[in-house]
Each structure stands twice: as structure tokens, then as C-alpha cells.
């Protein structure tokens, strides 16, 4: 079984989302190592050191996990590229079909290109793809309250803040609270999609 709507390549201007490839091992590791301080506070606590968990060898394990999740229909993992260079990750996980038709979205980006509108563009691309080719109805994004950069992404796009989740996930060595955001197909249908909304925001 494969995920409906995946694999796929999505693009808007200089922003490209594509499935991971073996050649991403070195750039993935380099970006992750450079951004330890930027990423560590917001990520699942690694099983070993940051260097071990983000080595070239670790990438191949991560990619294998991504491929298994995609084959089972549970996820859509994308390498995030900007101007032809690998700069981060965005993906859907915990995809549930039938009456729920929902998924969770997670993402991270290289601090050196943060603030350029790359991640809102990537999230808009992914949500539109999920609602059409992916045949999903609802996408959720759960973010730690202190993660202002990540919250700005969903707030720029106008995702709905739905609730506060105490002790939601084990992150950076402890059970951390998260703020829940979501968007449904009905929220965007009359606007032509999330990317169309983001384009209007950027030009207003």
C-alpha cells in the first residue's frame, strides 16, 4: 500500500518539496549539525548525542523510516529545498483515513534561511496537496508555546488556534505543553486554497 498523493514534487517559485533521496545524506547532516541550538529545544529527545543522531549514517536510518511510513500510507515526508539547496523538512504523519481523514504536520528549517517566507510557502503547498491529491480533510500542527518562529508560520497563514495541550509530547528531555492549530478543507475551499491565501497575504 502507498500513500494517496505520494510521492509527489511540489513547487512555488524558489521553494521545492520532493521525496528524500540518498544524495541528501551529507547536506541533511550538515544542516542539522549547524542548527543544533536552533532545533534541539523543539525536537523529540534523541536516543544518543546530537552528533550521533544527525550523522550521515543516521540519515539513512531516518530515510528508511520515512520510506516505510510512506509505503504504509501513514506519512508524506518531504525534503525542503530553496534555490536548489536542501534547507529543511516538512511532512505529514499519523495519517488516518475514512471518517477522520486527518494528519499532523511537522517541519523544521535551516536558521540561515528562516524568515524568508520559505516555510509558510512550503506549508501552504503541502496543505493544498493534502486536501486535493492526498484526499484529506483536516491538517493539525502542534507547537510548543515558546516556539515563536514556528507559531509565526501558522499564524501568517491564518490557521485556527484550537486549544492548549498540557504535557503533550516528550521534547528536549521533558513532557512539554503544545498549542494546537488546525485547518480544514472547508476553511480554504472558497479562497482557492492555502497557497492562494498566502499569496494575497504577501502582496497586501
Cβ-Cβ contacts under 8 Å for 155 (sequence gap 6 or more): none
Q: How far is 128 from 134, CA to CA, in rounded Å?
A: 9
5: left (phi over 0), alpha (psi -120 to 50) or beta: left
57-95 pLDDT, tens digit each: 999 999 999 999 999 999 999 999 999 999 999 999 999
pTM of the predicted structure, to 2 decimals: 0.96
* Domains of the chain, first to last: 10-203 (3.40.630.30)
**What digits encode the pLDDT tens for the residues 138-183?**
999 999 999 999 999 999 999 999 999 999 999 988 999 999 999 9
Give strand pairing partners of 165. Answer: 178
Amino acid at each position: 500500500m502507498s500513500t494517496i498523493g505520494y510521492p509527489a514534487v511540489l513547487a512555488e517559485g524558489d521553494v521545492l518539496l520532493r521525496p528524500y533521496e540518498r544524495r541528501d545524506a551529507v547536506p541533511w547532516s550538515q544542516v542539522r549539525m549547524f542548527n543544533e541550538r536552533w532545533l534541539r529545544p523543539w525536537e523529540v529527545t534523541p536516543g544518543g548525542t546530537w552528533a550521533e543522531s544527525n550523522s550521515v549514517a543516521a540519515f539513512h536510518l531516518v530515510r528508511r523510516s520515512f520510506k516505510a511510513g510512506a509505503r504504509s500510507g501513514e506519512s508524506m515526508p518531504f525534503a525542503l529545498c530553496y534555490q536548489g539547496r536542501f534547507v529543511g523538512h516538512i511532512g505529514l504523519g499519523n495519517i488516518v483515513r475514512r471518517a477522520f481523514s486527518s494528519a499532523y504536520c511537522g517541519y523544521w528549517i535551516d536558521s540561515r534561511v528562516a524568515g524568508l517566507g520559505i516555510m509558510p510557502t512550503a506549508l501552504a503547498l503541502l496543505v493544498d496537496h493534502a486536501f486535493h491529491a492526498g484526499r484529506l480533510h483536516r491538517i493539525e500542527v502542534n507547537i510548543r508555546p515558546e516556539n515563536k518562529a514556528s507559531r509565526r508560520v501558522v499564524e501568517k497563514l491564518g490557521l485556527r488556534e484550537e486549544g492548549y495541550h498540557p504535557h503533550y509530547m516528550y521534547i528536549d528531555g521533558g513532557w512539554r505543553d503544545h498549542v494546537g492549530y488546525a485547518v480544514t478543507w472547508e476553511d480554504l475551499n472558497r479562497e482557492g486554497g492555502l497557497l492562494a491565501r498566502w499569496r494575497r497575504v504577501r502582496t497586501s
